[in-house]
Structure 1
Amino acid sequence: MTLQLDRIKLTNDQIAWRAAQDIADGAYVNLGIGFPEKIARFQPEGRDVIFHTENGVTGFGAAPAEGQEDWDLVNAGKKAITTKPGAAFFHHADSFAMVRGGHLDLAVLGAFQVAENGDLANWSTGKGAVPAVGGAMDLVQSAKRVAVVTDHVTKTGAPKLVDRCTMPLTGVGCITRVYTSLAVIDVVDGRFVLREKLPALSFDDLQSVTGATLNVTDPVADLAVPAL
């Protein structure tokens, strides 16, 4: 099964593209450090999404071309950014006041584990890890909606979607939707509800690499993305 998944699963760019399609025009959105930052590249034409970074910027745009970086303009992941008309700069404390005040419509984070009740584990005390949960703790409890982008399984093939998290929690009952390399899954009333899956993957095969029961309440759509 692992070799089969490697052939058919979505790339990180494709997962980010799929997540970007669901972000509403005019939404204020925080993108987590690393993989979630890719979402900023794939906003549908005609939508104006206001991206927020916890180090103190709203209204940043796509990454600059190589060699055109202004290293005074970076996001929380220390990646170079550009600014769009209307962008604003503010103190780090004010940025967290925006987060804690419930002013973000959406936060998108990566994950080590997501439980069927919506619990999130996305930090680790393991070897080589930075032993701190960081701003994610504030984001998951304060944003109006919290989503995850992630591979469906770990590098060793273990499920990332589980019945209960075994790693340190970032937040409790906070996740509403998960975009994985194989499927789009909602968290509804403490259950995983399958919304979309790769057409090349059967339901039974998807269930076999998921560590909790997948429920189906409506017809499951094909997870279709462009070749990026």
Structure 2
Amino acid sequence: MVDFETMDPKEIIARRVSLEIRPKTLVNLGIGIPTLVSDHLDESLGVFFQSENGVVGLGHRPPEGMTDRHLTDAGGSFTSAVPGASIIDSAFSFGLIRGGHLDLTVLGGLQVDAKGHLANWMIPGKFVPGMGGAMDLVTGAKKVIVAMIHTAKGVSKIVPECTLPLTSQRRVNLIVTEMAVMAPLDDGLHLLETGPGYSVEEVIAATDAELVIKGDVPQMNLSLSV
């Protein structure tokens, strides 16, 4: 039996996000923690993972010695392809994104505010090449999930208002950290679940944004993922 309280925080997040993915959907996974999500899904579910650089049908990360330098995800990490996968050009790839054909995108985050606005592309004091496809993904996907560690060096990444440049004016649908699952709704940021081993009080203490709490908050059920 898996002890979820001792599991790596990134794996907890990826495992929880995997429960949100429905069979036979088209899903984009961002750089970082989101790339771990596919490891918790069986290929028999018929989920096709799309990458901005022009792959539809990304598979699991290949084992050591089985990598192909011509097959990478948008972050440049080695990947594999499932039967039926397609290689397309970037214009076609962004056409899928901007045309509203993605069922879901899972992205990392630097900050998310109480209204569900995401900031995930600029790190203060560090050179970044640009926003990449994040702006298009948040705007174009039918559902947006942010998968990120709850704090950075002890500072909450869930804030009343983002101080970093926003990725999009559209609010995200769900925020998953190792400590909590939260949903930004019209009346505020709702705490839906706590992470393994965390109490509601600990989540509140680690969160700068005010949380809406209605009734008893359950702990994440991670045992249902593949």
Q: Taking structure 2 as the reference length, what is the TM-score of the superposition? A: 0.90
1:220 to 217, 221, 226: 217
1:127 Cα deviation after fit: 2.3
Q: Residues 84-130 of structure 1: CA distance to partner in whole angstroms, max 9, x if unpaired?
A: 11111111111001100000011110101001111100011522331
The residue that corresponds to 1:194 in the other structure is 191
Alpha-carbon distance between aligned partners in 1 of 2:217 and 2:201, rounded to the nearest angstrom: 13
1:121 to 111, 119, 122: 119
Change (3 A) 1:29 1:73: same
Query: Match of 1:75, SS?
Result: coil
**Which residue identity lines up with residue 165 of structure 2 in the other structure?**
P
The residue that corresponds to 1:22 in the other structure is 20
The residue that corresponds to 2:150 in the other structure is 152
Q: Give runs of ≥4 in structure 1 deviating > 6 Å.
A: none
The residue that corresponds to 1:175 in the other structure is 172
**Which residue identity lines up with residue 55 of structure 1 in the other structure?**
N
Show the 5 A alignment for 1:13-92.
13-44=11-42, 46-92=44-90
Unaligned runs of 5+ in 2: none
Asked if the contact 1:118–1:172 (Cα under 8 Å) also holds between the matched residues in 2, the reply is: no
Unaligned runs of 5+ in 1: 1-6
The residue that corresponds to 1:96 in the other structure is 94
The residue that corresponds to 1:210 in the other structure is 207
Overall identity of the aligned pairs, in %: 39
Asked if the contact 2:181–2:195 (Cα under 8 Å) also holds between the matched residues in 1, the reply is: no
Alpha-carbon distance between aligned partners in 1 of 2:183 and 2:13, rounded to the nearest angstrom: 15
Asked if the contact 2:114–2:158 (Cα under 8 Å) also holds between the matched residues in 1, the reply is: yes
**Which residue identity lines up with residue 191 of structure 2 in the other structure?**
L
Alpha-carbon distance between aligned partners in 2 of 1:35 and 1:82, rounded to the nearest angstrom: 17
Asked if the contact 1:125–1:131 (Cα under 8 Å) also holds between the matched residues in 2, the reply is: no
- What value does the CA root-mean-square deviation take over the aligned residues? 1.8
2:138 to 133, 137, 140: 140
Asked if the contact 1:60–1:82 (Cα under 8 Å) also holds between the matched residues in 2, the reply is: yes
Q: Taking structure 1 as the reference length, what is the TM-score of the superposition? A: 0.90
Q: Residues 131-172 of structure 1: CA distance to partner in whole angstroms, max 9, x if unpaired?
A: 5111101100000010101111112x1111111100111112
1:198 Cα deviation after fit: 3.0
2:110 to 106, 109, 112: 112
1:10 Cα deviation after fit: 5.3
